[in-house]
Amino acid sequence: MRPYKTTSAALSDVLRLSQSMTYKCAVGGIPFGGGKAIVVADPARDKTTELLHAFGDAVESLNGRYITSFDMGTTMDDVRTIGEVTAHVGGIDAASGNASASTAQGLLACIKASIRYLQGAGKSLHGTRVAIQGVGNVGGRLARLLAAQGARLVLADVDRQLAGRMAEELGAELAGSEEILAADVDVFSPCALGGILDETSITRIRAPIIAGGANNQLASPSVGKKLKDRGVLYAPDYLANAGGIIDLHYQLNRAPRENLQAHLHGLGDILRRVYERSDETGLSTNAVADEIAEEVVRRGSIDSAIAS
């Protein structure tokens, strides 16, 4: 839910998001096709029960072909309200918890895989400097996970009070949402809006690794090649943030929760293969991930795709 300025901007975003969701399901190794919905509204001003029910009616009209959950501008409580008029919702299983926790855990696995790929298998997070842009549902959880393993954090959010409270809680540094791009850190983790990595902004990034939870971080696919040319290791966003949709798969299919952690940890193994193939072929990591995702869509198996 965002107050898009034009219908064309909304349409462009939802098509990019739905493509990313398709790729995310593919590389995450779960049997969903991928799709995305947006609501053109200001969540702080326009969100009402009537609006959420109207959206639920639209979801219901698709007869289960689309399952919705929460994302930017919406919450688990909003999805529960939507669920009052449609059964086709995910992420509201109170016993399973908030799927954002799994997004953060999968992202943590990818950050670890990235650091070890660059610095060796024995490298730990202790003392590693990580800058997190956006400390909401995913970024905030990631910050706590990293802090628990001894990482040193730099935090930023458009909500300065939220960022300040978390920085105080975790003993982190505080930065502005724009200035954090230039932070002298080992990992830059964008966990807010997409499209922040463009030809101009990447020249400011000093971190050798970019691994974040935001969707559609690259303003265009060509930016991925420019990052590779600059020697920056970029974790494709839909792979790094696939933990949430994996969690929803376990919830919706009543799959054993004890298998979830191993599935999330496996994202780091897939990412390592993306990095290896990128080095072998010279392709950007986002191009390699796209190839793998499209191969999964054709073959239906992530194992065969990463092995080829």
Q: What average pLDDT is seen over the chain?
A: 93
* Per-residue pLDDT at 57 exceeds 90: yes
Report the share of the chain in percent with pLDDT over 70: 97
Report the share of the chain in percent with pLDDT over 90: 79
* Per-residue pLDDT at 72 exceeds 90: no
Q: What pLDDT, on a 0 to 100 scale, did the predictor assign at position 94?
A: 59
Condensed to tens digits (0 to 9), the pLDDT of residues 122-151 reads 788 999 999 999 999 899 999 999 999 999
Condensed to tens digits (0 to 9), the pLDDT of residues 176-189 reads 999 999 999 999 99
**Which of 109-118, 196-205, 252-261 shows the lowest per-residue confidence on average (mean pLDDT)?**
252-261
Catalytic residue among 36, 47, 225, 226: 36
* Per-residue pLDDT at 96 exceeds 60: no
The domains of the chain are located at 99-242+276-286
Condensed to tens digits (0 to 9), the pLDDT of residues 107-118 reads 999 999 999 999
Question: Is 123 a catalytic site residue?
Answer: no
Q: What pLDDT, on a 0 to 100 scale, did the predictor assign at position 258?
A: 81
Q: What pLDDT, on a 0 to 100 scale, did the predictor assign at position 253?
A: 82
Read off the pLDDT band of 209 (50, 70, 90).
very high
* Per-residue pLDDT at 272 exceeds 90: yes
Q: What pLDDT, on a 0 to 100 scale, did the predictor assign at position 97?
A: 63
3-state SS, the chain, equals CECCCCHHHHHHHHHHHHHHHHHHHHHCCCCCCCCCCCCECCCCCCCCHHHHHHHHHHHHCCCCCCCECCCCCCCHHHHHHHCCCCCCECCCCCCCCCHHHHHHHHHHHHHHHHHHHHHCCCCCCCCCEEEEECCCHHHHHHHHHHHHCCCEEEEECCCHHHHHHHHHHHCCEECCCCHHHHCCCCEEEECCCCCCECCCHHHCCCCCEECCCCCCCECCCHHHHHHHHCCCEECCHHHHCCHHHHHHHHHHCCCCHHHHHHHHHHHHHHHHHHHHHHHHHCCCHHHHHHHHHHHHHHHCCHHHHHHC
Superfamily covering domain 99-242+276-286? NAD(P)-binding Rossmann-like Domain (3.40.50.720)
Q: What pLDDT, on a 0 to 100 scale, did the predictor assign at position 95?
A: 58
Q: What pLDDT, on a 0 to 100 scale, did the predictor assign at position 26?
A: 94
**Which of 16-30, 203-217, 223-237 shows the lowest per-residue confidence on average (mean pLDDT)?**
16-30
